[in-house]
Structure 1
C-alpha cells in the first residue's frame, strides 16, 4: 500500500514530463502556422525582392551586407563606436585587383565592414600600410598617393565612381570620376559633398570612416584601397572587394529592407523572432528578440500573479526547495544568431526548395532549446526567400515548472495532512495505551497487591477489547487476592476450635492416666500441637497488624529513646550474642507509633541474631543523616541469594532451610517489617555487605 501511494506522485511527475512533449509538438505546429502567415503577407510582392532577383550568386568578401547599427556613428576616424567589429572581413593578397613588380606580398591589407543607420550606409576601413603617402598640397593628381575608390550603381541603374585622396588626417572630400576612363591620368570632375568621412593615421597605417546616403545607392557597391609607397610614385597594389572599373564587375550590397521590417513588425508577432532571408540565405529583415520570444505560453505563465499569504509563503520558502530539483528557464543564454548577416540550417534549405521545415537546436552554452520554423516566399511560383521564426522552449519549461510546483505543493499538502492525521491517530492510540498502562500500574502496587480497578473502555476497537479484558482480569484477580488475604484469618479462626479440643483432650488424658502423660507419643502429640498453635499465631499476626495500621494513631516520639530501651531488653534476652549498639546522642523525633517501632526491632534483631555466625558481633546503629533517621543492623553470616533480592519483603517468603529447634517459619517477619516502615513513610532495604562478610538491613525514617 505504501509503495502504491508513493507511485501516485511519481505518475503525476511522469505525466507532466509527457505533457511537455505534447506541448513542444504543439509549439512546433503553432510556429509553422506563424511563418506561413507571415510568408502569405509577402507572397507576390516582387518590388520587395527586385534588387535581389538579378543576383546569380553570392560570394563572401565581394557581396557585402549592411549590419543594422543601433547607436549613431561619429565620423572621426576612430572605431571605438563600432560595436559589431566581429563581423568585419579582412582583405589581403587574396583580394588583389592590381599590383606592380615592386609590390611586396603581405605589405597591404585592410579590415572592412558596412552598416546601416537610419538613411545612411556607414563603412569603415582599417588599413595595414607601412608607408602612408598623402596627396601633396598643390598637386592636381589624386592617384599618386594612397587613396580609396568607391563604385556603385544608383537606384536608376547608373554607374558612379568616386575617389578619396587626402592631404592629411582629417575630414575627407570624395571626388566623382569619369566612369569612361581609368583612374590613372584623369583629373577630378567635381567633389561630392553628400558622401562624408574622416581619415585618421594609426601606428599600423590609417583608418577611414564613411557615410553614404542610401538614396544614392542601388544594389551594387565595391571598394578598393590603392597603396603608393613614395611621393609622386606609381601605385604599387590595389586590394578591394571587387574590380571598381566596370559596373558588371561590382559586388552587391544587401541593406536590410525597411519595407519588409515594417511589414513583419506590423503583424504583431511579438512572441517570436522573425527573420526574412533571400534565396541566398542573407537576412533582409528581422524583428523580435529570442531572449523574449518564449511563445504564447509565456504570457499564460506571467499572467498568473497570485496574491495572498500562501503565495508569499510559497515564493519565499517552497520555491527555493522546489528549484533544488527544477531548473529555471535562463534569460542569459548565448544567442549565436543575434546579429548575423546570413542564416544557415536544414529548415532554411528545405524552405528554399519550396517546403516548410522546422528544426530544434541547443544554444552554444546548452542553457536553452530553440525551435526554428521556415516557410518559403513565392513570387510567380519561384522561391525568392523564406520566413524564419524562432522561439525558445522557456515558455513551455515555465509551464512545466508551474505544473510541477502545483504538483509538489499538492503532494506536500497531502503528506502534511496525512502526517498530521497519522500523528493525531497515533497520539490518540498512544494516549489510550498510556491510560491503560497507568490504570494497570495503579491497580497493583509494588508488592503485587491490588489497590484499585481498571475502568473498562466502551470503544469497539482492539484497544477497547484489551481494556475490557484487563478490567475483567483485574476484577477476578482482586477477588482471588481477597480470598487469599482472608484465608489465613479464616484458617486461624476455623482451626483454633479443633486445636483447643485436641489440647483439652490431651490434658484430660494426661490427668487421668499418669503413664500416658509420660508416654513418648503423648509428648510428640503435645509438641505438634504447640507448633500448630504457633503457626496459627503467626498467620493471624500479619492480618491483625494490617488491620491495626488502618486505625493506628500517629504521635511524635523520640526514636533514639525507643531504640535504646529495646536494645537493653535484647541484650538480656540474647545474652549469648554480642550486641554492639551505637546510638546518636541527640533526640530523633519522628511521628508514628512507638509500639510498632518496637515490633519492627523485634523482627529485625531476631533475624540478625538467628543468622549471625556464632561468636560474631551484631552491630546496631542509629544516626541522623540530613533529614532522615537511619537505623542499620549488621551481622556476619550467610549472604542473601541474589535471585531473592527483590522478594524478601513479600508475604510468605523465607530463605530458611528450617527453623532452629523445630520452630515453624512462614516468611512473614520481613513482610511485617515492611508494613511498619511504610506506615511511618520510610524505606527499608536489605543487602549484602561490600566485603561479602554478612548482611545489612537499613531503615530510613523521615524526621
Structure 2
C-alpha cells in the first residue's frame, strides 16, 4: 500500500476589507452638517459688523460736519492763529505742542524726553550772521515749544564749543552769549527780550525798549522766567512765559561770542529774524476758544481735532482710548447668576470662543502729539473742500481707527478742517457679545439635534439589526427554514418590511415542507404502480414469446429496475436524516474504521487502485461509526465515478491540533467554477450523460454533508493544487478516550 503524505489545506483567499458605515454613523455624519450653522452664524455676525462699521462711519462723518458747522464763518477763531498764511516753514513757524504736565525749570531736560520726535534741529540753514565761515562745532541747537496750563514752555539744547558768560559787574547784556526773544502781543505790539546771565541758575528776561547796548533801555520782565545750565558741550535753557502776553508771532535767536577779549558777535542763529516784525516767524498755540466750543458740544464719544489749512492742530478734545463710538453704550451684560449654564459659559465656553473663534479687543497705543503727523487722504480731501472718511490702524497695529474729516469754511475759503476719530472697540465688543449668544444657542441646538438624531438612528439600527438577525436565523446555509420572523406592530416602513418578510418566510416554510415531503410521497405513490408493472411483466415473461417480445420484456424489466433504484435513492436521504436524530455516538479510532472500509473498497472496485495513509497514532473521534462509514462510502463512490482507471485514488487521514482531517483525492475532471458548495446540496450533479451508466440524483455528497453536520464537522470540495483532479476534505473534532471533545 503506497503511503501518501498529508498536504496542508490552503485557506481561502481573504477578501479585501471594505469600509462600511451603519445607519448611526451615516446619520451622525449627516448631523455634522449642523456644524455649518456656526460658520453661517459667524459670517452673519461679520456682515452685521460691516453694517455697524458703515453706520459708525456715517455717524462720525455727521459728527465732523456738525462741529465744522459750528466753526464756519467765524474769522475771530483763525485771525489770531496765523492761519491766513499761504504756507508755513518748519523751524520758522513754531507750533506749541500740548504738554502732558508742567515742565520743571532746572535745565536737565528730563521732562522733555517724551517729545524727542518734535524737537527741531537748528544749524547751518538757520544762520542769520557769521563773521567767518560757519563751523557746525561752533554753535547749533535743538529747540521746541509747548503749552500747558496757561504757559508757553521753551527748550533750548545749545552746543557751543566756547560758552562766554556775562562779566561780573557789567551792565551790558550784549557782550556775551545771549538769547533774544521777539514776540507780538495779542494787541499786535512788537516786543523784544534778552536773556543774559552771569552764571548757571534761575533767570528773568530783560525787555529791550530801545538800544540793547544801552543799559537804561533794559527793563526787567519777571513773567519770563527760566533756568540756564552749563553742560560739557554747551548749555541748556528752559524758560516759560504766560500765554496771555503772546500774540501770533514768536522768534528766538542766539548771539554767540567766542573771543573773551573783544567780545564781538561771531554768529547769530535763530528760528527767525528777531529784529523786524515783518520777518518774525509765527507761532500756533491751540485755541482755548475752539476747545471750549468742542467741550460745549458734548462730543465725548470721539476724539476731535480742529486743524488749520496747514494741518496744524488748533484744538483737541477726547481720548482715543475712550472713543469707542455710540455702539459701546449698547453693550450691556446681564446680571451673572450661579446657574450651571453660567458656570459652563465662564469656565469652558468663553475661553474656547476667545481662543479659537473670537478676538478680544486689546489695549492699543495711538497718540499724535506732533501736528505734522496729522496727515492723511481724509485731511487732504477736507482741505480741498470735501468731507471724507477712512480706516487706519493704530500706531501699534492692534486696533482699527475710523477717521473722518470735514472742511471749515470762511467765506468761500477753506480755513481748516474738523477731524473726528473713533476706535472700533465698541463694535468689536458688541460683535463678541452677539457671537457669544449665537454660539451658545448653536451649541445647544447642535448637541440636542445630534443626540436626537443619534438616538433615532440607534432605534432604527436596532430594529434593522433585529430584523436582519431574524432573517439570518430563519434560513440555514442549506436553505431550510429554521425559525419564523416575528411580525412587527410598528406602522412605519421598517414595520411593513418586517411583516412582509414574516409572510414571505411563512410561505417559504410551507413550500419547503411540501418539497421535503415530495420525495417520500412520490416514492410511496409510485411504488404501487411500479409493483403492478413489475408483476405484469413477470407474468408476461412466463408465457412463450418470440425473440422480439423477449427483448422488449427484458428492456421493460430493466426500466422498472432503474425506476426502483431512483425511488430508493429518493428516500435514502430522508431515512438517513431521520435516523441520525436517534443515533448514538461513541469514541473510537477513526483510522481503524478507514482502513477496514478501504479493504472492502479494494475488493468492490477491482479496476481502481487506492493509496491509503492513516498515520501511526490513533485518531480518536466521538461519533457514530456506521454513519461515518456510510459517509466514506459516498466519498469513495464519488471519487470512483470521476477518476481515471489507471490513476490511484488517494485517501489520507491525519490529525492537526484538535482536528482530524480526512482527504479523498482523485485525478480527473476539475470542478466547474462556483460549484464547490452547490454540489453538497440535494439533487445537484455535474455528471455528463456518458458517465451515467446508472441513475444518479446527486444525493451522495448531500448525504455525506448530512453526516458531517451531525458530527459538527465540515466538508469541503476543491480542485487539487496540481490542477489534475478534485479532493474532498472532511474535518472532525478529535476526542479524548473519555469522550470529551478537544475542540
What band does the TM-score fall into relative to the shorter chain?
A: 0.7 to 0.9
Q: Give the equivalent residue in structure 2 for 1:209.
A: 237
Q: Is the deviation greater in 72-81 or in 59-68? A: 72-81
Q: Residue 646 and residue 166 in structure 1: after superposition, are their counterparts in 2 closer, same or farther (change >3 A)?
A: same
In 2, Cα distance between equivalents of 1:461 and 1:196: 99
The reply to whether residue 235 of structure 1 matches residue 270 of structure 2 is: no
Q: Give the equivalent residue in structure 2 for 1:224.
A: 253
Instruction: Report if the CA contact (8 A) 1:173-1:193 is conserved.
Output: no
Instruction: Report if the CA contact (8 A) 1:333-1:363 is conserved.
Output: no
Q: Is the deviation greater in 687-696 or in 211-220? A: 211-220
The reply to whether residue 372 of structure 1 matches residue 401 of structure 2 is: no
In 1, Cα distance between equivalents of 2:263 and 2:111: 35
Instruction: Report if the CA contact (8 A) 2:61-2:389 is conserved.
Output: no
The reply to whether residue 290 of structure 1 matches residue 320 of structure 2 is: yes
For 1:163, what is the secondary structure of its paired residue?
strand
Higher relative contact order (CA 8 A, sep 6+): 2
The reply to whether residue 546 of structure 1 matches residue 574 of structure 2 is: no
Q: Give the equivalent residue in structure 2 for 1:610.
A: 641
Q: Residue 517 and residue 629 in structure 1: after superposition, are their counterparts in 2 closer, same or farther (change >3 A)?
A: farther
For 2:577, what is the secondary structure of its paired residue?
helix
In 1, Cα distance between equivalents of 2:376 and 2:634: 111
Q: CA deviation at 1:278?
A: 6.8
Gaps of at least 5 residues in structure 2 are 1-30, 337-341, 735-743
In 2, Cα distance between equivalents of 1:487 and 1:441: 26
Alignment equivalent of 2:720, drawn from 667, 683, 689: 689
TM-score, normalization by structure 1: 0.83
Q: CA deviation at 1:224?
A: 1.2
Q: CA deviation at 1:384?
A: 9.5
The one-character-per-residue Cα deviations of 1:371-404 (angstroms, maximum 9, x if unpaired) are: 33558699x9x99987653213442344345545
Q: Is the deviation greater in 640-649 or in 135-144? A: 135-144
In 1, Cα distance between equivalents of 2:712 and 2:116: 102
The reply to whether residue 453 of structure 1 matches residue 481 of structure 2 is: no
In 2, Cα distance between equivalents of 1:305 and 1:71: 40
For 2:670, what is the secondary structure of its paired residue?
coil
Q: How many residues align?
A: 691
For 2:680, what is the secondary structure of its paired residue?
coil
The one-character-per-residue Cα deviations of 1:174-221 (angstroms, maximum 9, x if unpaired) are: 451441223578786658596121333354xx3423132537743354
Q: CA deviation at 1:542?
A: 0.4
Instruction: Report if the CA contact (8 A) 2:591-2:619 is conserved.
Output: yes
Q: Residue 447 and residue 53 in structure 1: after superposition, are their counterparts in 2 closer, same or farther (change >3 A)?
A: closer
Instruction: Report if the CA contact (8 A) 2:83-2:415 is conserved.
Output: no
Q: CA deviation at 1:648?
A: 1.3
The reply to whether residue 196 of structure 1 matches residue 226 of structure 2 is: yes
Q: CA deviation at 1:520?
A: 1.6
Q: Give the equivalent residue in structure 2 for 1:317.
A: 352
For 2:176, what is the secondary structure of its paired residue?
coil
The one-character-per-residue Cα deviations of 1:549-603 (angstroms, maximum 9, x if unpaired) are: 2333333333333333323333333344333332244443332222111111111
Q: CA deviation at 1:149?
A: 1.7
Q: Give the equivalent residue in structure 1 for 2:154.
A: 123
For 1:615, what is the secondary structure of its paired residue?
coil
Instruction: Report if the CA contact (8 A) 1:151-1:161 is conserved.
Output: yes
Instruction: Report if the CA contact (8 A) 1:377-1:383 is conserved.
Output: yes
TM-score, normalization by structure 2: 0.79
Q: CA deviation at 1:676?
A: 0.2
In 2, Cα distance between equivalents of 1:282 and 1:577: 123
Q: Residue 545 and residue 56 in structure 1: after superposition, are their counterparts in 2 closer, same or farther (change >3 A)?
A: closer
Instruction: Report if the CA contact (8 A) 1:148-1:163 is conserved.
Output: yes
Q: CA deviation at 1:147?
A: 1.7
The one-character-per-residue Cα deviations of 1:117-147 (angstroms, maximum 9, x if unpaired) are: 4464321123354544444456553322322
Q: Residue 59 and residue 454 in structure 1: after superposition, are their counterparts in 2 closer, same or farther (change >3 A)?
A: same
Alignment equivalent of 1:182, drawn from 202, 205, 212: 212
For 1:563, what is the secondary structure of its paired residue?
helix
Q: Residue 454 and residue 44 in structure 1: after superposition, are their counterparts in 2 closer, same or farther (change >3 A)?
A: same
In 1, Cα distance between equivalents of 2:130 and 2:651: 138
Q: Residue 370 and residue 191 in structure 1: after superposition, are their counterparts in 2 closer, same or farther (change >3 A)?
A: closer
Instruction: Report if the CA contact (8 A) 2:205-2:225 is conserved.
Output: no
Q: How does 1:396-407 map to 2 (within 5 A)?
A: 396-400=427-431, 402-403=433-434, 406=437
Gaps of at least 5 residues in structure 1 are none
Q: How does 1:70-89 map to 2 (within 5 A)?
A: 70-71=100-101, 73-82=103-112, 83-89=114-120
In 2, Cα distance between equivalents of 1:10 and 1:693: 67
The reply to whether residue 678 of structure 1 matches residue 709 of structure 2 is: yes
Q: Residue 560 and residue 669 in structure 1: after superposition, are their counterparts in 2 closer, same or farther (change >3 A)?
A: same
For 2:265, what is the secondary structure of its paired residue?
coil
Q: CA deviation at 1:111?
A: 2.5
In 2, Cα distance between equivalents of 1:54 and 1:615: 132
Q: Give the equivalent residue in structure 2 for 1:505.
A: 536
Q: Is the deviation greater in 149-158 or in 310-319? A: 149-158
Q: CA deviation at 1:78?
A: 4.3
For 2:269, what is the secondary structure of its paired residue?
strand
In 1, Cα distance between equivalents of 2:40 and 2:609: 89
